Amino acid sequence: MKQLANEIFNRLQIHYPNAKCSLVFQQPHELLVSTILSAQCTDKRVNQVTPGLFIKYPTLQSFAVADIDELKNDIRSTGFYNNKAKTIKESMQDIINKYDGTIPNTLEKLVGLKGVGRKTANVVLGDAFGIPGIVVDTHVKRISRLLGLTKNSAPVKIEQDLMQLFPSEHWTILGHLMIDHGRAICVARRPKCDKCFLNDICPSAKIPER
């Protein structure tokens, strides 16, 4: 299975050489905010909102003391703005109260912040701190199952399965590679199996007969 995983990784890397986090940020807390905003929203939309947002709230502390109704209005276009504003404000308050205003760089401490789950924590770890972590979003979950890399449906179980199959130095980029593949070829509703460079090793590939 590790041999299959290695082959999948190599092919993905060849086809998506520029795979990386598509959220635009300068500081770790900005990536945390952007990742919170990206739930049920496109990264493109988030990147349209955050430049102005980060000018208005230039520091972690400014988010922590933000007027909640004003913050809701500022992020309204990303959807689910009530919950997102609450999570942003409370997570920043947590960082100030628990860690003296310095965003933590361990999974355990990040998921201990109010409203922050493993997916968000792993994004921050991998892309803000360079600490390996596997982000299991809808693309990673779907593609991992289709490729036979896991039989689990729970994100934490999928994360554990992938961690056993891939070396830690591949964990962070693996998520970006699968996300790019999920957007370009292995799309949810109608995967382009006939155009997929993994169709010869994918047990779920459906190639129309000619």
Q: What is the pLDDT of residues 124-153, one digit of tens each?
A: 999 999 999 999 999 999 999 999 999 999
Q: Which pairs with CB-CB distance under 8 Å and at least 24 residues apart come from 204-210?
A: 204/146, 204/147, 204/148
Q: What pLDDT is recorded for position 207?
A: 74
Q: Does domain 2-19+134-195 have CATH number 1.10.1670.10?
A: yes
Number of Cβ within a 10 Å radius of residue 44: 9
Q: What is the CATH number of domain 28-128?
A: 1.10.340.30
Q: Kindly tell me the number of DSSP H helices and DSSP E strands found in the chain.
A: 11, 0
pLDDT at residue 209 is higher than 70:
no
Q: Report the C-alpha gap between 73 and 129 in whole angstroms.
A: 30
pLDDT in tens, 14-51: 999 999 999 999 999 999 999 999 999 999 999 999 99
- Annotation says 119 is catalytic: yes
Give the distance from CA 132 to its chain's centroid: 13
Of all residues in the chain, what percent carry a pLDDT higher than 70? 99
DSSP state of 207: P
Q: Give CATH 1.10.340.30 domain extents, the chain.
A: 28-128
Q: What pLDDT is recorded for position 206?
A: 87
Q: Report the C-alpha gap between 7 and 11 in whole angstroms.
A: 6
Annotated active-site residue in 119, 141, 161, 180: 119
pLDDT at residue 179 is higher than 90:
yes
- Cβ-contact 133, 122 below 8 angstroms: yes
10 Å CB burial of residue 100 (0-12, 13-18, 19+) is exposed
Maximum pairwise Cα distance, the chain: 64
Q: Give CATH 1.10.1670.10 domain extents, the chain.
A: 2-19+134-195
Tell me the average pLDDT across 57-81: 98
Annotated active-site residue in 43, 86, 109, 137: 137
pLDDT at residue 210 is higher than 60:
no
Radius of gyration of the chain (CA): 18
Tell me the average pLDDT across 60-70: 98
pLDDT in tens, 81-127: 999 999 999 999 999 999 999 999 999 999 999 999 999 999 999 99
